[in-house]
Structure 1
Amino acid sequence: MIKLFVGLGNPENKYDNTRHNFGFMVLNEIAKNKAVEFKNWNDMADISFLEHKGSKIFLLKPRTFMNNSGVAVSAFAKYYKIKPEEIFVFYDDFSIPLGEFRLRLTGSAGGHNGADSLITHLNSQNFPRMKLGIGPIPKVYNDTADFVLSKFHGEDKEKIDAVKQNAIELFDALNELGLEKAISKLSGKK
């Protein structure tokens, strides 16, 4: 059972609506859909929770910035005795086209600094994830960092909204069907 859902991003307002904050955007949409609000936890994260079948399900957005996401997630997981395989993570991936996503049960960071920080601080690659497409990188960007920190454009909204809806569907399926059946159900979608 997934006990903790994590969205990766950067906490300052200047990063709102940037590609690197897609994980935050998805988690915000889930929270909105479930009518729950985020509150500060130990100045390390914004958290929220909901009750499901007698258990608490937490939503967490690290405030430790992308490259140190694992600091907040591991501290929270340790405090609440949550294992890596009980943590589901949403984060951006520029190797996947915008509007598409990939679901994985485990795996390497693939060059993503936030995922790398999670792997380091959780001491495990075994956390399921939804990699949110933000690619491809246009040729005008010489630096990957400049691209991931750039804002989404108005014409991206429809694709972003579709991914958010898929994330809500996945969230519900994970809580109702369990990990393997939920992943199987949504893996065929783009």
Structure 2
Amino acid sequence: MSGKLLAGLGNPGTKYLWTRHNAGFMVVDRLAHHANVAITKKAFSGLYGETTCWGERLHLLKPQTFMNLSGRAVSPALHYHKLTLDDLIVIHDDLDIPFGQIKLKKGGGHGGHNGLRSLLQELGSGEFTRIRVGIDRSKFGDTADYVLSPFSKSEMAELSTLLDRIVDAIEMLVSEGLPKAMSIYNNKDLLAG
């Protein structure tokens, strides 16, 4: 059982804990909570934990390199576990998707996302699965300030439900494959009903 590496992107430290840019960390933390595993081991320039879930060995990683150097944590973890890009699932925030929605896809560029830019540099390819977590785009002001600001009060009230639904999407992705998960979860309002 080789497994999957699930890398949630974010920034370390309490200052960034509930910021939009840390959506990847939040999803991996919620998954770890469901799987009853701690992501506390210091490894691969990140915090790491592993568990067996849905018939698959899951390696959970939260890079502690800061977002712009995420690849420096993900690449060694992938190599250490002898996993390929097909085994990598990267979870990150996305400005072009409304809050409450996710998009699953395989491959692509970095779209201006510094965490993805670092991954493409370190891995030499973008051919991995991404779970893009919608954070909406700022209606005004600077994008950099926006992604590093906390979720709004109304968003925070729905975050718990949203994270649980994203974990459901990961379960389908791991157990039934990307095409099925994409058909069910892409462009769906995860907070409806």
8 A Cα contact 1:100 1:133, kept in partner = yes
Match of 2:180 in 1: 181
TM-score computed with the length of structure 2 as normaliser: 0.90
TM-score by length of 1: 0.91
| Unmatched 5+ stretches in structure 1 | none
Is residue 146 of structure 2 the alignment partner of residue 147 of structure 1?
A: yes
* 108-117 or 175-184, larger mean C-alpha shift: 175-184
Q: Deviations over 1:74-125 (max 9, x none)?
A: 0111111111121111101112111122111111110000011111111111
The amino acid of 1:94's aligned partner reads L
Distance in 1, matches of 2:111 and 2:25, equals: 19
Give, in whole Å, the separation in 1 of the partners of 2:158 and 2:102: 11
Q: Is the alpha carbon distance of 1:93 and 1:2 closer, same or farther for their aligned partners in structure 2, counting shifts above 3 Å? A: farther
Question: SS at 2:62's partner residue?
Answer: strand
Q: What is the aligned partner in structure 2 of residue 22 from structure 1?
A: 23
Query: Contact (CA 8 Å) 2:54, 2:175: kept in 1 or not?
Result: no
Aligned length: 188
User: Residues 148-163 of structure 1 correspond to what in structure 2 (within 5 A)?
Assistant: 148-163=147-162
The one-letter code of the counterpart of 2:23 is F
- Contact persistence 1:5–1:87 (CA under 8 A): yes
Q: Helix, strand or coil for the counterpart of 1:114?
A: helix
Name the aligned partner's letter for residue 185 of structure 1.
Answer: I
The 2-side partners of 1:134 and 1:178 are apart by: 25
Q: Is the 8 A contact 2:67 2:115 kept in 1?
A: yes
Letter in 2 for 1:133: G
The alpha-carbon deviation at position 55 of structure 1 amounts to 4.7
**C-alpha separation in 1, matches of 2:62 and 2:135:** 19
CA distance in 1, matches of 2:160, 2:55: 30
Superposition RMSD on alpha carbons, in Å?
Answer: 1.8
| Secondary structure of the corresponding residue to residue 67 of structure 1 | helix
Work out whether residues 98 and 133 of structure 1, in 8 Å CA contact, stay in contact via their aligned partners in 2. Answer: yes
Taking the aligned partners of 1:48 and 1:42, their CA distance within structure 2 comes to: 9
Amino acid across the alignment from 1:164 = L
1:42 CA displacement = 3.1
Q: Which amino acid aligns with 2:100?
A: G
In 2 relative to 1, CA 100–53 (structure 1 residues): closer, same or farther, beyond 3 Å? closer
Hey, what's the Cα distance between the residues in 1 that align with 2:163 and 2:3?
19
